[in-house]
Structure 1
Amino acid sequence: MTESFLPAANGVTTSVLRVLDHLALRGHEAMVVCPGPAPHQYAGFPVAEVPSFSYRGFRAGVPSPALVRQLGAFGADVLHAAAPFGLGAQALFAARRRRIPSVAVFQTDVAGFARKYGLSATTPGIWRWLQTVHSHADLTLAPSRATLADLAAVDIERTAWWGRGVDAETYHPRHRASPAGRALRDRLLTGSPPGTVLVGYVGRLAPEKRVERLTAVASQPGVRLVVVGDGPSRAALERELPGAVFLGRLDGDELARAYAALDVFVHTGTHETFGQTLQEAMASGVPVVAPAAGGPLDVVADGETGHLYPPEDDGALGRAVAALAAEPARRARMGEAGRRRVLPRSWTALGDALLGHYTDVIDRAEARDARLVAGFERPLVG
């Protein structure tokens, strides 16, 4: 069960796709339930749509009896709830009633996003709701130490770490020297003086990502700003960053070339539970600059693979970029160190770790049921 799926492009969708790829690789059966419209299948697995509506560029699913019917008809051994909030909540409640073991993956800071959309008053209620939702999961997985600490602070229990993998073959420094990569750099540098440094951002263009903070970069001499992505803030950002090159949404080899074409990668959002684009940039051999908050604390080795700046200090962001822009040799060292750092983080290894978590919750559920049969444990309610 996922709150986001194709054709939407975001961190939740990406991680769900990699999980499905791994389930297919290991010979398991799966079904996806998600907001429509969506493809009818992925990796050979059926995709079941539920009704949805659009809000600020997001497709949000509407809880529906169809979801419960799909869950019952499939006969699942385990429910995987990706970023549960609405549909995922309904699925977890139903799984608990049907005694289906469940794993919930916490990967979206919903409360943080609500604050960015001017809904700060809802933050306590959102956390209370998330605590209720995750209390119905047998295990909640989080991608960083900071996120695990956030969950503990609001009394979400039964948690464990599960990170995010990176495709280090697709995202590779070789794209920079390829004919297509050189052509892209030439295009991005058109009209710029010799020695101009390409500084880029990749991700959704939405208020919670705070891309407007790149004004601290766009005004620097000898820097050309590149923005990859799309979203509801694009038009406003094009006005605020008139010297930037906007490439729109890119995927596959085009996206890999865009990463490799950069000299420095910058991330601006302060509510990231992980920071997948940071890993992709590092796999591409590009040094990174990111806020010292949330997921980036686990991803970036400050001073080794890039720089972490105080989350709300735009001046520090600009100074970190300027320091890297001025030192090509330092950029090269950090880029190489970043790639070495992410090479062990394959989706295969993380997929196998996830299967281990599935096995654990199934085994615990079987042990619990055995105690119920023996009369040593009270039935679950809720």
Structure 2
Amino acid sequence: MSAPLRLLIVTDAWAPQVNGVVRTLSTMTEMLRAHGDTVEVIGPDRFNSLPMPGYKEIRLAVAPRRKLARLVDAYMPCAVHIATEGPLGWAMRGICLRRNWPFTTAFHTKFAEYLKARAGVPAAWSWRVLRHFHAPAQAVMAATPSLRRDLAMRGFTRVRPWTRGVDLSRFRPEPREPFDGLPRPIFLYAGRVAVEKNLAAFLALDLPGTKVVIGDGPQRAELQRRYPAAQFLGYRENGQLARSYAGADVFVFPSRTDTFGLVLLEALASGTPVAAFPVTGPLDVVTDPRIGVLDEDLRAACLRALSCSRDAARSHAEAFSWKASMAQFRETLVRFGG
């Protein structure tokens, strides 16, 4: 066993936010601590913050650098990982550069596409800023081969793999939510209800049965008005969410901008086949035609996925281990003291 780390993770995405980045970082933190490492996470909950414009669930730290430096000095890490490109990420990047500390980063979110979808900001502008942010990192961790190829083509350097996992004891084929009173088949989406998730591409489809949406976000009220036949169930956590995955007939993932999509693994672990577009994320997860269908015609993908194998979906998910993800993450970190 290698020497224990004293790791600092700085992230603009942290509890009480509910998303894939938070789930990934919280899982890594738990596993590293179980491994014997000391891990400190500094998130926006420790600072004065303001809601992100258009997305009140996400709060952004206001002028965090001075307080962040004090917290860093009190902890004195031997390795630093900067998880996000928000105010805390930029502040920690500046601290590391001034102190000549090496650090790693991760590319979790295609902010260029998000900002273009939400605010019309030209993607080329955002990609330039993102390249600048990650350029000094000793390693830029990215979850999938297609994302790593994309980043390399866009001029990112030192891009390294960091896969994802799924909690196989939590997400499993049984027990299943019966969805009483709703016509079958059940086509399920779970995740943020926001414009970048491209939910209208799913909700507008002419499909048999019932479309079900689990999750919340800034676009929920609008989509509920536009698609009254769909069932919006809000947040579901713990066993309730797992039962919902297992009770669905097809998990539909309409996003074109996710870098991985942990929900894909959660659905597959629950035995539920996937329908999605053939883009980064689904292309790297749904690699077996028995477990899902990727097609630019999302309706055709949904209908064909009904005949996929639930047993094969579960077996495929079993190959994605959080233990392997933790080992890969830990090996990529750069120690500078202690």
Fold match by TM threshold 0.5: yes
Q: Alignment partner for residue 290 of structure 2, among 304, 308, 317?
A: 304
Q: Tell me which residue corresponds to 1:42.
A: none
Is the 1:260–1:284 Cα contact (8 Å) retained in structure 2?
Answer: yes
1:267 maps onto 2:253 in alignment: yes
Partner of residue 317, structure 2: 342
- Residues 324 and 137 of structure 1: CA distance in aligned 2, closer, same or farther (over 3 Å): closer
Choose between structure 1 and 2: higher helix proportion.
1
Moved over 4 A (4+): none
Whether contact under 8 Å (2:14, 2:44) holds in the other structure is: yes
2:229 is aligned with 1:220: no
CA shift in 2, pair 1:190/1:26, >3 Å: same
Q: CA deviation at 1:147?
A: 1.6
Map residues 358-377 of structure 1 onto 2, 5 A cutoff.
358=333, 361-362=334-335
Preserved contact between residue 82 and residue 88 of structure 1 (Cα < 8 Å): yes
- The question of 1:281 aligning with 2:267 is answered yes
- 1:380 is aligned to none
Partner of 2:298: 317
Task: After TM superposition, give the deviation of residue 191 of structure 1 in Å.
Answer: 5.7
Measure how far apart 1:317 and its partner are. 0.6
**Partner amino acid for 1:244?**
A
Report whether the alignment pairs 1:354 with 2:329.
Answer: yes
- Higher mean C-alpha displacement, 110-119 vs 82-91: 82-91
1:280-319 per-position Cα deviation (integer Å, ceiling 9, x unaligned): 0000000001111112110012522101112xxxxx1112
Q: For the Cα contact (< 8 Å) 1:139–1:160, is it kept in 2?
A: yes
Distance in 2 of aligned mates of 1:172 and 1:203 = 18
Give the CA deviation at 1:84.
2.5
Could you report, residue by residue, the CA deviation over 1:111-163 in whole angstroms, capped at 9, with x for unpaired residues?
01011103233x22221211111112111100112221222122211110101
Of 37, 40, 57, the residue aligned with 1:28 is 37
Contact between 2:261 and 2:281, CA under 8 Å: does it hold in 1?
yes
Output the TM-score relative to the length of structure 1: 0.81
Cα shift at 1:348:
1.6
- Looking at structure 2, the residues matched to 167 and 216 of structure 1 have their Cα atoms a distance apart, in angstroms, of 32
Q: What TM-score, normalized to structure 2?
A: 0.91
| Distance (Å, rounded) in 2 between the aligned partners of 1:130 and 1:318 | 34
**Secondary structure at 1:230 match in 2:** coil
Match runs of 1:12-27 below 5 Å: 12-27=21-36
Residue aligning to 1:159: 159
Structure 2, unaligned stretches of length 5 or more?
A: 1-9
Q: Is the 8 A contact 1:201 1:265 kept in 2?
A: yes
- Structure 1 residue aligned with 2:96: 95
SS in 1 for 2:60: strand
Pair 1:190 & 2:178 matched: no
| Kept after mapping to 1: 8 A contact 2:275/2:292 | yes
Partner of 1:62: 62
In 2, distance between residues paired with 1:116 and 1:89? 23
SS at match of 2:23: helix
Question: 1:18 deviation in Å?
Answer: 0.5
Secondary structure, counterpart of 1:17 in structure 2 = helix
Q: Which residue of 1 aligns with 2:127?
A: 127
Q: How many angstroms does 1:100 deviate by?
A: 2.6
SS of the counterpart of 2:97? helix
How much does 1:101 deviate? 2.8
* Coordinate RMSD, CA, aligned: 1.6
Deviating more after overlay: 255-264 vs 86-95: 86-95
User: What number of residue pairs does the alignment pair up?
Assistant: 324
Measured in 2, the distance between the counterparts of 1:159 and 1:170 equals 31
For CA contacts below 8 A with separation 6 or more, give which structure has more relative contact order: 2
Q: Percent identity?
A: 32
Structure 1 residue 260 displacement after superposition: 0.5
Q: Match of 2:139, as an amino acid? A: L
CA contact (8 A) 1:209 1:270 kept: yes
Report the Cα distance in structure 2 between the residues aligned to 1:100 and 1:339, rounded to whole angstroms.
42
Deviation at 1:61, TM superposition (A): 2.4
The answer as to 2:181 corresponding to 1:206 is no
Q: In the alignment, does 2:255 pair up with 1:254?
A: no
For the residues of structure 1 that align with 2:59 and 2:146, how far apart are their CA atoms? Answer: 27
Matches within 5 A, 1:31-46: 31-36=40-45
| Alignment check: 8 A CA contact 1:50 1:62 kept | yes
After superposition, the C-alpha distances for 1:159-214 in whole angstroms (9 at most, x for unaligned) are 101011110110000222xxxx3xxx1xx24163xxx2111000000011111112
In structure 1, what residue type is equivalent to 2:151? Answer: L
SS in 2 for 1:232: coil
Deviates more, 1:298-307 or 1:253-262: 298-307
Deviations 1:238-287 (A, max 9, x none): 11221111110111111101100101000011001001101100000000
Q: Find the aligned partners of 1:215 and 1:226 in 2 and give their Cα distance.
A: 9
Gaps of 5+ in 1: 37-48, 311-315, 367-382
